[in-house]
């Protein structure tokens, strides 16, 4: 017996959207949060960051996108005197959490809509 056929029912899904529909909403929200954070991180890395801030407008998009995580982590990291490398990891974790919660709320709202 094929493992994919037993996991997905009779036949494996044909499209990636069908596969995403089968995933638990919480895991789906986590995957979306990771994807958004990876995209923002790539924008931030490609744009370049100098001593005075981002070197082009794309860097500002990445900087503004990371603002919620920085605002959540910065007070705690400075109060606990956490090293910069660890606080950067904490910012990324906070960002993934924020984007995952937003995605979960959107999916939850989308699932509870009633059509007339």
Q: What is the pLDDT of residues 9-38, one digit of tens each?
A: 565 656 666 666 667 778 888 888 999 999
Candidate from 31-35, 46-50, 64-68 with smallest mean pLDDT: 46-50
Q: Model pTM? A: 0.68
- Average pLDDT (107-112) is 70
Task: Compute the mean pLDDT over every residue in the chain, rounded to the nearest whole number.
Answer: 77
pLDDT at 1: 47
Instruction: Classify each residue of 65-95 as buried b or exposed e, where b means 16 or more C-beta atoms within 10 Å of its C-beta.
Output: bbebbbebbeeebeeeeeeeeebeebbbebb
The domain locations on the chain are 24-111
- Average pLDDT (87-99) is 89
């Amino acid at each position: 017996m094929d493992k994919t056929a037993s996991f997905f029912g009779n036949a494996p899904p044909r499209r990636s959207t069908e596969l995403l529909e089968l995933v638990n909403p919480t895991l789906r929200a986590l995957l979306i949060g990771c994807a958004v954070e990876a995209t923002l991180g790539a924008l931030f890395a490609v744009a370049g960051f100098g001593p005075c801030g981002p070197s082009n407008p794309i860097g500002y998009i990445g900087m503004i996108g990371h603002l919620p995580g920085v605002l959540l982590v910065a007070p705690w990291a400075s109060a606990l005197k956490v090293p910069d490398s660890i606080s950067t990891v904490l910012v990324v974790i906070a960002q993934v959490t924020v984007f995952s919660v937003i995605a979960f709320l959107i999916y939850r709202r989308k699932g509870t809509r009633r059509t007339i």
